[in-house]
Amino acid sequence: ETNTLPFHPFENQQGDILRMEKEHQVLQEQLQEAEDKFEQLQSRSLEETGALEELLKKSVEETKVSQNELDWFHQDSEAQMKKWQQEKKENREHLRALRSSAKKHTDTRDRYLKTIDDKEKQYNEYLNTFLDTSNKFANEKVKLEELIKKSQDDSQECEKRAVKAELSVFQTWKEAEVWKLSGSIAKAEANLRMLKALSSSPGAAPVWKSHIDSWETFLSNVKKQLEKVEAEYEEKMELVKSGARISLTKVETVDIPSP
């Protein structure tokens, strides 16, 4: 399309065809120059011949020229005529050679032009095929982009449902653990109230003190466990909301035996 490469097989290097056309033009100009020169020579020769003939006629009529001078004049005229005929012959041969070379270059140019026309037709066929294929690919691309967009929308919807499901699972596990630990806390608090009530009677405090201490330790550990479970489940749910990929596992808890 930009004509920057040689046109094989008619060019060995870029610009050969243009150079041959220039050479053809130069040969045409040389041919025209030779024809002009030939006509000038012919006209000059005719003029010279006429002048010589007039001079000869005038010399015969007006003066008596010796036979030797007359012979010399004829010899000189014949020499001039032979010289002119030789020049005429050489010019004709040169003209014939120029015409042959011009015809050769013309035939070559016509052949190149025909080849260029054939290649241009072939190029147009390839171009039409390419445009048809390009249009088909463009249509397929639009369809694929629509499918990709639909798949992306479906994928985003699935991700949203997956996140919602994971949050629901973590929330369920959290509530189950909180309910379990809250039950243990309520039980421990009830036992502590009962033990403290029993220890308030006279003389009973030393008997119940160790039990009260054990339940208070148990209650403190269970509360810490509850805080840990809530914090870790909240952390997992925040990670899921932010789009992070984490394993769907329960928070590890320690089974604290009651006193």
What would the two tokens of residue 102 be? 């011009």
Q: How far is CA 23 from CA 10, 55, 119, 205, in A?
A: 16, 47, 24, 131
- pLDDT tens by residue, 71-110: 788 888 889 899 999 999 899 999 989 988 888 888 988 9
Tell me the per-residue pLDDT of 114-134, one tens digit each, with 9 for 90 and over. 999 998 998 999 989 999 998
Q: What is the per-residue pLDDT across 38-70, written as a single tens digit (0 to 9) for each?
A: 989 988 888 888 888 888 888 777 776 667 777
Task: Give the C-alpha separation, 192 to 221, whole Å.
Answer: 15
Cα pseudo-dihedral 240, 242, 244, 248, rounded to 10? 0
What are 202-250's pLDDT values in tens digits? Answer: 665 666 788 888 888 999 999 999 999 999 999 988 988 888 888 788 8
Distance of CA 225 to the CA centre of its chain: 63
**Nearest by Cα to 223 from 251, 176, 183:** 183
Higher pLDDT pick, 82 / 17: 82
pLDDT for 206 equals: 66
Question: Which helix (H) or strand (E) covers residue 81, if one does?
Answer: helix 67-199
Tell me what the mean pLDDT of segment 159-180 comes to. 89
Which of 16-20, 25-29, 209-213 has the weakest average pLDDT? Answer: 16-20
Scored b (16 or more CB within 10 A) or e, 178-198 reads eeebeebbeebeebbeebeee
Pick 2 or 138 by higher pLDDT: 138
- For the chain, what are the domain ranges? 160-242
Using the 8-state DSSP alphabet, how is residue 250 labeled? Answer: P
Q: For 245, which DSSP code?
A: -
Confidence of residue 15 (pLDDT cuts 50, 70, 90): confident
Distance CA 230, CA 84 (A): 126
For residue 222, with 0-12 CB atoms within 10 Å meaning exposed, 13-18 middle and 19 or more buried, which class applies?
A: buried
Q: Which residues, 6+ apart, have CB-to-CB distance to 67 below 8 Å?
A: none
Query: Which pLDDT band, with edges at 50, 70 and 90, does 251 fall under?
Result: confident
* The pLDDT of residue 186: 93
User: What letter does residue 15 receive in the DSSP assignment?
Assistant: T
